[in-house]
Amino acid sequence: MRRGSTVQLALFALVAGGLGVLIAVLPNWLPEPASREAGRIHFVFWFVTGICLFIFAIVAAVLAYSVWKFRRPPDDDSDGPPIHGHTGLEITWTAIPFVLVTAITIVSAIVLAKDDAAGANPLRVDVVAQQFAWSFYYPSYANKRSAILMLPVNRSVVLRMTSKDVIHSFWVPEFSQKQDLVPGIHPTLHITPDRIGTYPVVCTELCGAGHGLMRSQAKVVSAAAFAKWAKGGPQQQAAASGPALFTSNGCNACHTLAAAGAHAKIGPDLDKLQAEAARAGKPLPAFVRESIVSPNAYVEKGFPKGVMPKNFGTILAKQQLSTLVQFLVASAKKGTK
Ligand code: CUA
């Protein structure tokens, strides 16, 4: 290869490499991190991605340049020049990847170790998943139960996972970590939220018909606001309104109920409860209560048995169950007027 074309090739490759990296890095592909772990994970992601993009762009540019520069006319049937190896080149393209891969290994190992360290005095939260809702319990605060994940900013948190039925997966995009919830085992996840705000909690494991609606919120608040909320006691929950209970227990993931703004069609339409109670041959309030506590006692025609979780009788406090039954009965009566 002539000296001039080698210089041309090198320049073309470097410019293409730089442009490729810019195009890939400039758009905001990832959500803004909201935890220290996420910040470190993003650093590793861009460290590795940057290296890969640069190498890819150089290789692709050299290839494209060679195809164009060294092409032969269609009637040229002569052999190409004999090629011998180039020791210098071979040492270079072995040594550079070795250094890069070693660097990636070291950076990843440091980040993994740091993300896995829970820090001193972490806050423990028990994350409970069931078809199709999340619940969060705070053992250090009288096992307070919440439908949203309240977290104090800048404090290390250990999330302990429990699934009551099938495999779910916990994911907050802004925290950058996912953890499967497998029945029978209790994995943990360490998070240190460092940005106040509200972020989505998403189930990322196909867990049944209501999977797409199995969502909650993670709310990162100041330490003072968290303490105030945590000491608010369980009566807040018990005193929750019918629509709030309906949503926080995930009923809206499967059922339609105009009074709660729910439009899901996995389970029976709860605006038609009166007709359903008539078909079941039971008075409305008793029918509603039974359908929540033992859902398989009567299953509306056209809906499969065993889809509705059987444990609402134990999850809901007595007063919550009564509130929910009253709310459903009242809205069913309103619906038919
Ligand atoms: Cu739970 Cu998908």
Integer Cα distance of 80 and 72 in angstroms: 10
The pLDDT, as a whole number, for residue 239 is: 60
Q: Which numbered atom of ligand 1 lies nearest the CA of 131? A: 1
* Cβ(201) – ligand 1 distance below 6 Å: no
Return the SS3 of 49. helix
Specify if 82 maps to a domain. no
Main-chain phi, psi angles of 308, to 5 degrees: -70, 130
Amino acid 337: pLDDT = 46
Is there an atom of ligand 1 within 6 Å of 164 CB? no
Asked if residue 329 lies in contact with residue 285, where contact means CB atoms within 8 angstroms, the answer is yes
Q: Is 214 in the pocket of ligand 1 (CB under 6 A)?
A: yes
Which segments of the chain have a pLDDT < 70? 1-4, 233-239, 335-337
Q: Which is the closest atom of ligand 1 to the Cα of 203?
A: 2
205 and 257 housed in the same domain = no
Q: How far is the CA of 70 from the centre of ligand 1 (A)?
A: 55
Query: How far, rounded to the nearest angstrom, does the alpha carbon of residue 206 sit from its chain's CA centroid?
Result: 12
Distance 181 CA to ligand 1 centre (A): 9
**Ligand 1: does its nearest atom lie under 6 Å from the Cβ of 205?**
yes
We report the CATH number of the domain holding residue 153 as 2.60.40.420
How many domains does one find in the chain?
3
Q: Which domain holds residue 154?
A: 123-231
| Number of other CB atoms surrounding residue 245 within 10 Å | 22
Ligand 1 proximity of 181 Cβ (cutoff 6 Å): no
Question: Model confidence over 148-197: pLDDT tens digits?
Answer: 999 999 999 999 999 998 999 999 999 999 999 999 999 999 999 999 99
pTM beyond 0.85: no
Give the residue from 213, 231, 249 where a domain finishes. 231
Q: What is the spatial distance between Cα 254 and Cα 241, in angstroms, rounded to a whole number?
A: 19
In tens, the pLDDT along 137-146 reads 999 988 888 8
Q: Are residues 208 and 292 in the same domain?
A: no
First and final CA of the chain: distance in angstroms? 89
**Minimum-distance ligand 1 atom for the alpha carbon of 167:** 1
User: CATH no. for residue 303?
Assistant: 1.10.760.10
Question: Is residue 266 domain-shared with residue 165, that is, in the same domain?
Answer: no
Atom of ligand 1 nearest to the CA of 205: 2
In a domain, 79, yes or no: no
Q: Is the CB of 219 under 6 A from ligand 1?
A: no
Nearest partner of 183 among 170, 167, 169, 171, judged by Cα: 167
Q: Would you state the pLDDT for residue 195?
A: 94
Atom 1, ligand 1: residue with shortest CA distance: 168
76 within some domain:
no
Q: Is 203 in the pocket of ligand 1 (CB under 6 A)?
A: yes
Report pLDDT for 312. 82
Last residue in a domain, options 231, 256, 281: 231
**What pLDDT sits at residue 234?**
52
Residue 220 within any structural domain of the chain: yes
Q: Is 211 touching ligand 1 by the criterion CB < 6 Å?
A: yes
- Rounded to the nearest angstrom, the distance between the alpha carbon of 73 and the centre of ligand 1 is 60
DSSP string, 123-167: EEEEEEEETTEEEEEEGGGTTEEESSEEEETTS-EEEEEEESSS-
Among 206, 231, 256, residue at a domain's last position: 231
